[in-house]
Chain A
Amino acid sequence: MASGTIPESTDNYLTHTRGWKSWAFTLDHKRIGVMYLVAIASSLFLGGMFALAVRIELFSPGRTMMDADSYNHMFTLHGAVMIFLFIIPSIPATFGNFILPVMLGAKDVAFPRLNLASFYLWVTGALFFVLTLSLNQLDTGWTLYVPYAITTKSSVLLAGLGAFVLGFSSIFTGINFIATVHTMRPPGMTWFKMPLFLWSLYATALIQVLATPVLGITVLMLAMEITLNLGIFDPKLGGDPILFQHFFWFYSHPAVYIMILPGMGIMSELIPTFSRKHIFGYRFIAYSSVAIALLGFFVWGHHMFVSGQSVLLGVIFSALTFSVSIPSAIKVFNWLATMYKGSIHLDAPMLYALSFILLFGIGGLTGLFLGALSTDVVVHDTYFVVAHFHYTMFGGTLVAFLGGLHYWWPKITGRMYNALHARIAAIMLFVGFNLTFFPQFILGTRGMPRRYYDYTADLAKHPEFQLLNVLSTLGAFLLATALFFMLHYLMRSLRKGRPAPANPWGSGSLEWQCSSPPPHDNFATPPTVDDPYDYHDLKYDPQLQGYTRDA
């Protein structure tokens, strides 16, 4: 982010101080957010490259470009990078950091130093991952199931250390957000006047703080098991491999909500803004975020219906799993009701919002097959599961992330991107996504297990495996093209984009009251707090090409 890209001569957070040190040691939440954005986008790129390698290998039966071991490394690294380096931190670390304090009308988060520390913890954790990459790599799958993770010669320790450090980064961010939301709301902003994005970040932070320590404990135990042969998990020493799965999913299921809740929060900002209508059912949406966060702690066993876990446990976990589906359903209906009788603008962020509803809808509905005990037995550990979680994680979180990126880009950079290009990219992404992942549902139900390097042996009886894999790979390339196109027009906007007005979309929350990009201190005078979803007195000013508030 060179300083030559700054639009206005007025003082803003980008121009306030100069030189690399002013970035590296910054305590400004906005700069930390921007650094996260760059770092996390790089992780997305890295994880995406692994994904393409996996898809190319499966394009044709037999060896396409790598052997089985390399393939196993590829899908593991894809999963580990995407989950630990990209999705878990994505929205909270970037937009959470940048937007949360501004939305609160505050000058910064509660603990700016802790915030910077969590960024450097993230960098340290990421370095361990990169080291893993360049040393023995990792071939365990991101799930690190024992005893395979104990017997393999790949770098489990290094990757585990990375996850451990990243976990602290996540915990610190969570603590910071909880403290900020509790103590720094401006006068007049009661809990139920907070924008829903903040509710979702708050709920997410609760999970980050409560669940992530279990991840730390789990990888620590795994590390001790590998180095000291304690016999916690290793059956050869009297340990129990299923215990590891309980520990692992006790974190990793709630982590699913760390990934999706912030995305839902972004939806609750985008949909009313671009429908120009008050969010429908504010309280239900707010409560449902918290409900998801809490219920999400009691459903981890649904990953283990065929693990040898007792029938009774399976039944309990299945029932609890269905209970957590209700709050998500409520949200979807409330978003649709928000659009009803609105005045809908199909700007790029809204296209992502609509994509999100459809894709996350499919992700959620296919979750029913996995939550129901008998059908889960059929589809567990097949491509059906792969498709399901990509619909929720990619179709959900990543699409929401991109929606948020297009929504807040003018605020963050002070520049508008090419609106037409952005719409084209959004549609390409939607088509590419479905082409990539829908065939995988069928692959799974027809019988292809996940994490399979090859399907030659099955071709005689299942010629469809090839066709479905080819479609999926083609889709992946369309997806990649859309993302590169996006990178192109976003970068271009930094140099050539029209300077952004303070409020280009006519949003009601506080971050749009300060200039784009915001000044170093966000607000010279404390902003006035209103209903963040009231759009009545926001009027379009053609001269500014943005909205202003009628006095």
Chain B
Amino acid sequence: MTAMLGLCNVLERPAVSLFGLQDGTFWLPPQRSTIAPAVDTLFYTLLGISAFFFLLILGLMTLFVIRYRYRPGVGPQSDVKHSTALEIFWTVIPLMIVTYIFYQGFVGYVRMRTVPDNAYEIEVVARQWKWIFQYENGLETNDLYVPADRPVRLIMRSDDVIHSLWIPDFRVKMDIVPGRETETWFEAPWQGETGRHALRCTEYCGTSHYNMLATVVVEQEADFDQWLIDALAKQQNKPPPERGEDLYNRYGCIQCHSIDGTMEVGGVAVEGPSFKGIWGETHEFSNASDTEVNREYIRESILDPSAKIRRGYPDKMTTYKGRLSDEQISEIIAFIKSLKD
């Protein structure tokens, strides 16, 4: 087995430079969690087995096609119709191989799914198309900050459809299903510097599925603890309108609402009305009578968006009921109010 892995490595070097890969190997991203090496070993074992059998098939086929090609006047040179011994042979050998593979996969999987007891817990909220990470002290972020050298347990919920959290460098993947809680865990060894790793959604979840991305930031535990305190203080020390602006970003209102009066954000077209200057306006609706934009109306727009659908806009917003607290909604209202010049 080690010989096979060695061969893989030798073949990989030139390929890696050919593709201009930044890190990791030709086949896999770098190993940045404690389980990654074990998973990769099975991966390369499978790669070796696959390569062996593929070359065997290819080799035999080529050999037969050349040696036993049709020549005028020469017929088939054998009449054998079956051989029980041979057939049992190529039933039993694959059976043994797949039993071994199954066992290895099983061992690795159980380890991936068994969360260590002392794990640090972070709650994950997935919603179209944002990640929200909630820490023990109430802090919320869109990127995932974790301490190094400590198991981290993610307790995950979805507000709308199924999403899936994938951190390729950690070899971690788990679906997030509305209506239930799922969990996963990892431990990221300290690499001598702050680690940054891609986090992607891998269960198709609609328009911006491809953009449901975040970064995992790995800090040493002491730095992480300090960051946790500082970040929360920073978030809390802001006046309400600014906290509302944070929420506007963090909860993804920004994906559909601009704040500059246009119908695009960062050059990308959006579908919701801009928040700029709407406070105090009177709006028309396709399914309700005219209403003034005030506290009550904004509250309702957030908690029950389809109750009043603004004329000329699609009914695309989903409720934030149970997700945003009354206090947070007040902060958003303060923010929208502040956009009235």
Residues of chain A at the chain B interface (Cβ within 8 Å): 68-69, 72, 139-141, 145, 147-148, 151-152, 235-236, 238-242, 275-284, 305-308, 311, 314-315, 318-319, 322-323, 325-326, 329-330, 332-334, 336-337, 339-346, 354, 357-358, 361-362, 365-366, 368-369, 371-378, 380-382, 442, 445-447, 449-455, 457-458, 461-464, 467-468, 535
Contacts and interface: CB of A to CB of B under 8 A. Distances in A.
Interface string B315-341: 000100000000000000000000000
A344 B202 contact: no
B289 interface: no
A457 B19 contact: no
B105 A373 contact: yes
B74 A343 contact: yes
A340 to B, nearest CB: 6
Interface residues of B, number: 90
Contact of A336 (B43, B60, B75): B60
A452 to B, nearest CB: 4
Contact of A377 (B27, B81, B173, B177): B173
A329 B65 contact: no
A354 B64 CA distance: 11
A68 B94 CA distance: 44
A375 B27 CA distance: 13
Interchain residue pairs A-B with the least CB separation, the first 5: A235-B179, A374-B108, A372-B105, A373-B109, A341-B78
B24 interface: yes
Contacts of A275: 68, 76
A311 B105 CA distance: 12
A457 B213 contact: yes
A139 B206 contact: yes
Interface in B160-177: 160-162, 164, 166, 168, 171-175, 177
B201 A372 contact: no
Interface stretch (B83-91, B236-244, B257-265): B83-91
B164 A381 contact: yes
**Residue of A275, A283, A357, A462 most packed against chain B (CB within 10 A):** A462
A333 B80 CA distance: 14
B161 A311 contact: no
Given A449-B202, A454-B211, A330 B28 contact: no
A372 B171 CA distance: 14
A382 B65 contact: no
A374 B112 contact: yes
Nearest to A309: B175
A149 to B, nearest CB: 9
B58 to A, nearest CB: 6
B173 A380 contact: yes
Contacts of A332: 57
Contacts of B60: 336
17 contacts: A72-B209, A145-B161, A282-B81, A325-B98, A329-B90, A336-B57, A342-B77, A346-B65, A365-B50, A368-B101, A369-B46, A375-B42, A381-B164, A449-B202, A451-B210, A454-B210, A462-B22
A412 to B, nearest CB: 25
B106 interface: yes
A214 B101 CA distance: 31
A311 B113 CA distance: 7
A334 B91 CA distance: 11
A375 B65 CA distance: 35
B179 A372 contact: no
A318 B113 CA distance: 15
B68 A342 contact: yes
B177 A307 contact: yes
B174 A308 contact: yes
B22 to A, nearest CB: 5
Given A235-B179, A308-B182, A380-B202, 20 more contacts: A141-B204, A235-B177, A276-B75, A278-B79, A284-B82, A308-B174, A315-B110, A318-B105, A326-B94, A333-B87, A336-B57, A339-B61, A358-B58, A368-B101, A374-B107, A378-B43, A446-B28, A451-B209, A454-B210, A464-B19
Contact of B99 (A307, A322, A357): A322
A83 to B, nearest CB: 16
B208 A68 contact: yes
A427 to B, nearest CB: 13
B32 to A, nearest CB: 12
Contacts of A366: 50
A148 B162 contact: yes
Given A322-B98, A325-B98, A365-B50, A344 B68 contact: yes
Contacts of A450: 202, 204
A328 B168 CA distance: 31
B205 interface: yes
Nearest to B178: A235
B26 A442 contact: yes
Given A307-B177, A318-B106, A378-B171, A341 B68 contact: yes
B53 interface: yes
A372 B20 contact: no
A333 B90 contact: yes
A307 B98 contact: no
